[in-house]
Structures are given as structure tokens and as C-alpha cells.
């Protein structure tokens, strides 16, 4: 990449565009002498009315075309929601920057803002995420999970039309879209763990593009990056992807310069759950993730991953 305009690639959904504009605004502050352009890129997942959440060919459903454009030079920096980015990094590309993480947790949204334990018996809760469904059913086996697809506005509209009594969304998505007037309860540990990397953005560049790497690196938040690496390393060691019922969250440990990583592997129906936590040096997040993954497998998680 030369000294011309820096092209930032992204999905074209409202949330993805909001994320890309957030990144570009920060890049313009960090590099006022450079020009930045947002380029929306249509992905395979965008063309499906109800994208599958698991099965063959679903890994990278929302990122493959963006990475293809990045490799061929159609954009210089790709902005991804890190929880949707496969843990296997394609050859020639690298996530070099993770900006400061927003709220990592899920929220339970309903008309009246009911807490989970106060929902009526058999209440219908909308989500298309196997992890969210499993955690809901683990906490409340009586609930009915209703598959619900579409962007945030579409899901909220479906709830208000009576398709479900409540729904689960990412807190960061609501914040980035500036959605107001929504009553919700935050679903927090230990009962609920977010998807690995949830609340984080990942800035991906070509490995040989030193200019793009330098520009993107200006937005890196080391603590957020280390936490996301630990969570994604755990997911990689479990052989998983974003469709697996695996939750993980890393935060500051008790000792300085350490991370505390919590994780949970569940059966799809929420009937079984293997939970664990481990603490380790923030300088080796990959090792911490791999270590906790091995402990979860030793404690019986392997059958739940099949």
C-alpha cells in the first residue's frame, strides 16, 4: 500500500458499517494526514434469509469474501466482529489490531425488561446462536428457544410483533448501533459467558503490507487483544468455531500482568455443562487458552464437542 487512500473493507450490514465507521473515525484521529474510505463487501452470509449457524461450509460465512478482497488488494484493512472470525488465520493475512473492547456480555431484551428468572414458565426467547440457546436452557430448562435471524432492528421488530417474548443480543451491538429505548438485563458470569472475542473488533491486513499494519496497530488495545487471544486460543484448541456452544471470557487476574480465563462447554440442549477457569501471564494468552481447553477436555467436555 502506498501513500494514497486507505480502503477499509467491511460487511454491508448496519452493524458492520457502524463498526467500520467507528474504526475509520479513530484512524483519522490517529493519522490525520491520511485519507480513509469505507468499502462495503457483500458476503455469502448476507445473501441468505436465514444463515445456517452450524454445519459444513458455515465457518467464515461472513468473512471469506472480505478476506478474498483483502488478499487481492481490493481493500487494505478489513474490519471484523472478532466473534465471527474463524480461529484459523488464512495464509498471508493477520489480525494485527484489536481496539478497546466494548461490553462483552449478552443482554436479555424484553418489552418490560424482565430478568431471566422472572420470565413466565415456557416463555419464548429468540436467538439463532447455539451457545446462547444452550446457556438459556441450562439456566431455565422450561424456556422455548425460537430461532430468530436478521439484523438487530429486524429481531426487535419480530419480538414486538409477538414472535417471541424476549430475545438475546450482544450488548456491544446495541451500543454500536446506538439503539435506545430498549429494556434489558445483562447476562453475566458465572452463569452466562459470552462468545470468544465478543465485544471486540479485529483489524486484519496482508502480512506483507507494512504500511497497513502500522496504521491499524495505532488502534490496538493490548489488554483487549490479550484477552481475545486467550479466548480464541481456547476455542481453537477445542477444535471449534463460532457455532459451537462454547462460552469464554478473559479479564484481569488477581496478580498484576495476569489474565483470568473462564470457559464453559455445553450440550446443545443445555442439559450438560463443563465449566472451568485458569489464570496465567498476560504475556502468553495462547498458552493460557490451550491449558484451560485441555482441562475442560479432561473434565468431560470432549463428548459435548462432537
> Catalytic residue numbers?
84
State the first-to-last Cα distance of the chain, in angstroms, to the nearest integer.
Answer: 43
Angle between helices 14-30 and 210-217 (to 10 degrees): 90
Going by C-beta distance under 8 Å and a sequence separation of 6 or more, which residues neighbour residue 90? 67, 71
Phi, psi dihedral angles at 165 (to 5 degrees): -90, -25
3-state secondary structure of 247: strand
For 107, the 3-state DSSP assignment is: strand
CB within 8 A of 128, min separation 6: which ones?
Answer: 50, 51, 53, 147, 148, 149
Amino acid at each position: 500500500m502506498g501513500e494514497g487512500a486507505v480502503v477499509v473493507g467491511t460487511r454491508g450490514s448496519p452493524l458492520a458499517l457502524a463498526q467500520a465507521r467507528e474504526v475509520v473515525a479513530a484512524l483519522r484521529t490517529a493519522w490525520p494526514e491520511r485519507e480513509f474510505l469505507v468499502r462495503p463487501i457483500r458476503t455469502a452470509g448476507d445473501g441468505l434469509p436465514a444463515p445456517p449457524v452450524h454445519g459444513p461450509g458455515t465457518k467464515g460465512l461472513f468473512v471469506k469474501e472480505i478476506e478474498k478482497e483483502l488478499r487481492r488488494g481490493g481493500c487494505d484493512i478489513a474490519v471484523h466482529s472478532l466473534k465471527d472470525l474463524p480461529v484459523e488465520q488464512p495464509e498471508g493475512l493477520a489480525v494485527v489490531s484489536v481496539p478497546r473492547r466494548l461490553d462483552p456480555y449478552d443482554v436479555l431484551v424484553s418489552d418490560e425488561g424482565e430478568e431471566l428468572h422472572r420470565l413466565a414458565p415456557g416463555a419464548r426467547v429468540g436467538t439463532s446462536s447455539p451457545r446462547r440457546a444452550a446457556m438459556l436452557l441450562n439456566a431455565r430448562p422450561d424456556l422455548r428457544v425460537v430461532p430468530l435471524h436478521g439484523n438487530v432492528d429486524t429481531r426487535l421488530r419480530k419480538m414486538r410483533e409477538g414472535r417471541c417474548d424476549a430475545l438475546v443480543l450482544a450488548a456491544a451491538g446495541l451500543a454500536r448501533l446506538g439503539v435506545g429505548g430498549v429494556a434489558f438485563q445483562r447476562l453475566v458470569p458465572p452463569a452466562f459467558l459470552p462468545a470468544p472475542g465478543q465485544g471486540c473488533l479485529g483489524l486484519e491486513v496482508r502480512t506483507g503490507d507494512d504500511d497497513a499494519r502500522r496504521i491499524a496497530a495505532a488502534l490496538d488495545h493490548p489488554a483487549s487483544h490479550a484477552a481475545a487471544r486467550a479466548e480464541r486460543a481456547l476455542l481453537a484448541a477445542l477444535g471449534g468455531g463460532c457455532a459451537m456452544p462454547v462460552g469464554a471470557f478473559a479479564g484481569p487476574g488477581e496478580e498484576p500482568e495476569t489474565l483470568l480465563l473462564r470457559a464453559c462447554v455445553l450440550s446443545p440442549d443445555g442439559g450438560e455443562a463443563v465449566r472451568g477457569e485458569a489464570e496465567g501471564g498476560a504475556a502468553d494468552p495462547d498458552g493460557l487458552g490451550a491449558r484451560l481447553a485441555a482441562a475442560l477436555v479432561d473434565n468431560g467436555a470432549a463428548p459435548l464437542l462432537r
